Amino acid sequence: MKPETVTKWLIRLGSTVALLAVLTGGAVDGVAQESGVVRAALVTGALPVDDPNATMWNNAAPTVFPMSPQVHWPERIQQVTVQDLTVRALHDGTQLAVLLEYEDPTEDPDDAAAIEFMVGDKKAHFAHGQPMLLVEGGPVNIWYWKSRDNKGVDLWAKGFGTLRPHEHQDVKAKGEYANGKWKVVFSRSLVTDHPDEDAQIMPGQFINIAFAVWDGRKDDAGQVIEKGSQKAVSSWWYFRAEPPPDYSGYVYAGVAAVLALGFQFVLIRKLKEGQSA
């Protein structure tokens, strides 16, 4: 075999190995950088379900979402305090913890926050699952927290005026206020015994998620400004609990690299034998 032929084969083989490495590893990393997705990292050890300031939250990548006034229901306001919301999430394969962080100039008893998920496969509007143009409407599961009680409430709705608490209460929440910022952590099992009422979170699957925040400050007349449907809301975004890592791609790439090196060794040996002859 001519040296030029050997060189061409080695270049082609090296390109194939590089492409395999990209397909098995690089493409997944690229997806992980997309915006608008809350990715709950899989961790070992106890989750910080009651500590919004735990150092473990540093392992969770933050995602920032814009917030705006709720305008789909007649009881509305034109301005809201919270303009954006930072969200982090962790899970251990069984439990999920989600941390909300946002600026609020004052700590008030009526400050509140909520997380919303679709229930099942039926598309629902982010406004309590209300039927809207081109959206038939469907049930939503809402995790609610209020400063006054500092605990979580598990809710269900299917349109405006249908909001009600579950008979079962699986959601926990705790908030802490410091330096003009609220940090509120929600927690619940990934999967519950109530699939018709609760969002079921399967690692590796994308589901819809939305958020709401109320600034509970009062006006000069002593009335709470943001309450009920008068709140800051987000549209639907995406949530994913990360599955356990899949190292099979690296195994395949390693095998391909070993085969390439072996093939290269054989070709060089054959080439030297031909030259010596």
- For residues 189 and 265, the model is more confident at 189
How sure is the predictor about 43, in pLDDT bands with cuts at 50, 70 and 90? very high
Q: What are phi and psi of 27, to 5 degrees?
A: -65, -40
Q: Which range, of 10-24, 43-57, 93-107, averages the lowest pLDDT?
A: 10-24
Q: With both helix axes pointing from N to C terminus, report the angle between 248-276 and 3-21 in degrees, rounded to the nearest 10.
A: 170
Q: Of all helices (H) and strands (E), which one includes residue 13? A: helix 3-21
Beta bridge partners of 178: 181
Tokens of 240: 């994913």
pLDDT higher than threshold 50 for residue 103: yes
Q: What is the pLDDT of residue 23?
A: 34
What digits encode the pLDDT tens for the residues 6-27? 444 433 444 343 333 333 333 3
Q: Of all helices (H) and strands (E), which one includes residue 30? A: helix 27-31
Q: What is the pLDDT of residue 120?
A: 86
Is residue 266 classed exposed, middle or buried when 0-12, 13-18 and 19+ CB atoms within 10 A define those classes?
exposed
Contact 143, 63 (CB under 8 A): no
Distance CA 147, CA 113 (A): 9
Distance CA 204, CA 154 (A): 24
Q: How would you label 49-85 residue by residue, b for 16+ Cβ within 10 Å and e otherwise?
A: bebbebebbeebeebebebeebeeeeeeeeebbbeeb
- For residues 129 and 111, the model is more confident at 111
